[in-house]
């Protein structure tokens, strides 16, 4: 899975905060499926290719959007003026026992909303979620020419290395603390309340349920 879709392209016009509403970061629930579907369909060909490491058409993008909402792991998003503009995914790294304490992160930021700090917000949220579940390593991948992503990852203590045409790296995660657990608990409550408030009345919101991959040990 690619931690990609960052570039040195600046949004046209003034910075994000000067022209649009304040970004809102929260966990995504099954009821956010239509927003995720629309998000992946809006991505331009270059952004899709960077995200999936290959050219991807509308049909494949829609199929992935549906799968992303039910796959093991955690998915968070950034809304700007009520529209989903960036997504972060936390997924199991591999099926083996040796990979049980590792996870992989993938970020996608829509063109025109980059270089506004959204990727850093997403990555920090995913890293803390992984840390609080006892995971010790967050794996990352991006294309070699993605200078902005390499800088972002380096700023969080990881070193990306070129391997088979991709840049790969890992962030070592510290042990959870009472403060990190408390902070995530508060964020989860706020996420749920915000999702309920913004949910269309014609839909029902499924109760949140963390998959085993992210379930906190008893």
Per-residue pLDDT of 50-83, as tens digits, reads: 888 778 899 999 999 999 999 999 999 999 999 9
What Å distances lie between residue 148 and 33, 108, 126, 153, 159, CA to CA? Answer: 29, 13, 19, 9, 13
pLDDT at 18: 39
2: pLDDT strictly greater than 60 = no
d(CA 60, CA 205): 26
Contact predicate 195/29, CB 8 Å: yes
Tokens 């990727």 — which residue?
A: 119
- What integer pLDDT is reported at residue 143 of this predicted model? 77
DSSP 15-56: -HHHHSPPPEEEE--GGGHHHHHHHHHHS-HHHHHHHHTS--
Q: What pLDDT, on the 0 to 100 scale, is given for residue 32?
A: 92
**Chain segment 99-143, per-residue pLDDT in tens:** 678 899 999 999 999 888 898 999 999 999 999 989 999 988 877
* Architecture of domain 19-200 in this structure: 3-Layer(aba) Sandwich (3.40)
Give buried/exposed letters for 97-134 (b at 16+ CB in 10 A, else e): eeeeebbbbbbbbbbbbbbbebbebbbebbbbbbbbbe
pTM: 0.77
Of 159 and 185, the structure prediction assigns the larger pLDDT to 185
Which of the residue ranges 16-20, 99-103, 157-161 would you say has the lowest mean pLDDT?
A: 16-20
pLDDT, the chain, mean: 78
Q: Where are the domains of the chain?
A: 19-200
């Amino acid at each position: 899975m690619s931690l990609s879709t960052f570039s040195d392209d600046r949004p046209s016009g003034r910075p994000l905060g000067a022209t649009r509403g304040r970004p809102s970061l929260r966990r995504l629930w099954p009821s956010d499926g239509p927003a995720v579907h629309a998000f992946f369909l809006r991505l331009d060909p270059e952004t899709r290719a960077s995200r999936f490491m290959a050219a991807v058409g509308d049909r494949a993008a829609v199929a992935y959007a549906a799968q992303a909402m039910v796959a093991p792991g955690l998915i968070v998003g950034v809304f700007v003026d009520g529209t989903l503009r960036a997504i972060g995914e936390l997924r199991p790294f591999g099926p083996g026992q040796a990979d049980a304490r590792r996870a992989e992160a993938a970020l996608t930021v829509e063109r025109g909303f980059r270089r506004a700090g959204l990727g850093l917000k997403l990555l920090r949220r995913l890293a803390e979620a992984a840390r609080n579940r006892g995971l010790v390593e967050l794996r990352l991948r991006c294309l070699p020419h993605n200078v902005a992503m390499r800088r972002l990852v380096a700023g969080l203590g990881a070193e990306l290395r070129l391997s088979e045409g991709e840049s790969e790296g890992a962030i070592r995660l510290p042990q959870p603390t009472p403060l990190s657990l408390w902070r995530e608990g508060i964020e989860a409550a706020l996420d749920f309340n915000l999702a309920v408030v913004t949910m269309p009345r014609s839909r029902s919101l499924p109760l949140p349920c963390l998959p085993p991959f992210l379930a906190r040990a008893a």
